Amino acid sequence: MELRQLQYFVKVARKQHVTQAAEELHVAQSAVSRQIRQLEEELGVQLFVQKGRNLQITAVGKLFLSRIEAVLTDLERAVNEIHEYLDPEHGEIRVGFPHSLGIYLLPTVIAHFRKNHPKVKFRLRQGTYNSLIRDVMKGEIDLAFISPFPEKHSHVAGELLLREELYAIVPQGHVLCEYQTIRLEQLKEDSFVMFSEEYSLRAIVLEACRKAGFSPRIGFEGEETDTIRGLVAAGMGVSLLPEMALTEISELQPVKVRVIEPQVTRSIGLIHRTGEKLPLVAEVFREFLIDFFIRYK
């Protein structure tokens, strides 16, 4: 059993398609198929079954995948630790983040960090609240920016970095677009453009509306702040977005209005796996972030 076979197996399992896996691995499709076939022969089991044009992983394949992913993650960590031991300034930091923090916050802190650590590399992974926690728990990323910050969790720990205000956004020409401040209940008759259910900002908006005494009528749903902002600007409804998600200027721009009743905020934190020492370069970045946000406040 070769390392290459295991790497090809994991890639095919994730893509469920040999051609797509081969493209990402930058090898011929025949080479991937051959390695998978040899792995199945060595194990004496069938790891995949054909389903239309795609491959579907078998039950025993899923079992094997869960073990191999952990093995490859540990191997990658061991290699990184050796490189960091030789020269921490050439290390790599694996960071997860939600989309709403990738617009402004993440590029800002990385740019500041690289002023003193220009050779450190970053591997970034975007995800939802649950997927980021899962990736930290599995050791696939070292650190994750997350919102809301989980105050108590059995498998992850970290630091609260800041609280950010959410603004109401309305289309140009809306009856409230000239207001400096509003009460959230003033939007109760409007259709809301809302995040999909797996996104934590949806829960924050729903809770704020509940406190304001109404349940929002949802007209459209989206998965990224850019989509929400664009739909509101196009007159499809109203919404609430974090201040950082409204820094980008585009041709189609909604109007932002401060909500004073109730005040709507979200907590933003940094998490890592509980009870496990971070790689040296990731610990340096974590300490930098804590100091950065103390000064930011």
Phi, psi of 287 (to 5 degrees): -65, -35
pLDDT of residue 277: 85
Whether residue 183 is predicted with pLDDT greater than 80 in this model: the reply is: yes
Please give the pLDDT value at position 204: 94
CATH 3.40.190.10 domain span(s) along the chain: 87-162+267-296
The verdict on domain 87-162+267-296 having CATH code 3.40.190.10 is yes
Q: Domain 163-266 adopts which CATH fold?
A: D-Maltodextrin-Binding Protein; domain 2 (3.40.190)
Q: CATH 3.40.190.290 occupies which residues in the chain?
A: 163-266
CA 202 to chain centre: 15
The predicted model gives 15-35 an average pLDDT of: 87
Q: Is the separation of the CB atoms in 96 and 30 below 8 Å?
A: no
Orientation angle between helical segments 105-116 and 280-296, nearest 10 degrees: 120
Q: What is the pLDDT of residue 22?
A: 87
The DSSP secondary structure of 232-246, one letter per residue, reads: HHTTS-BEEEEGGGG
Bridge partner residues of 271 (DSSP): 144, 158
Q: Tell me how far apart the alpha carbons of residues 57 and 16 are, in angstroms, rounded to a whole number.
A: 7
pLDDT of 175 reads: 96
Name the DSSP class of 199.
S
- Residue 131 near residue 271 (C-beta atoms within 8 A): no
Fold of 3-74: Arc Repressor Mutant, subunit A (1.10.10)
Residue-wise pLDDT for 143-174, tens only, equals 999 999 998 888 999 999 999 999 999 999 99
Q: Measured between alpha carbons, how far is 209 from 203 in angstroms, rounded to an integer? A: 10
Residue 115: how many CA atoms within 13 Å on its side-chain side? 7
| 256-294 confidence digits (pLDDT tens) | 999 999 999 999 999 999 988 888 889 999 999 999 999
Start-end of CATH 1.10.10.10 domains in the chain: 3-74
Compare 84 and 120 and report the one with higher pLDDT. 120
Q: What is the mean pLDDT of the chain?
A: 90
Cβ neighbourhood burial of 61 (10 Å; 0-12, 13-18, 19+): buried
Predicted local distance difference test score (pLDDT) of residue 161: 95
Band the pLDDT of 88: cuts 50, 70, 90.
low
Given a cut of 80, whether residue 90 has pLDDT beyond it is no
Record the pTM. Answer: 0.69
Mean pLDDT computed over 235-250:
88
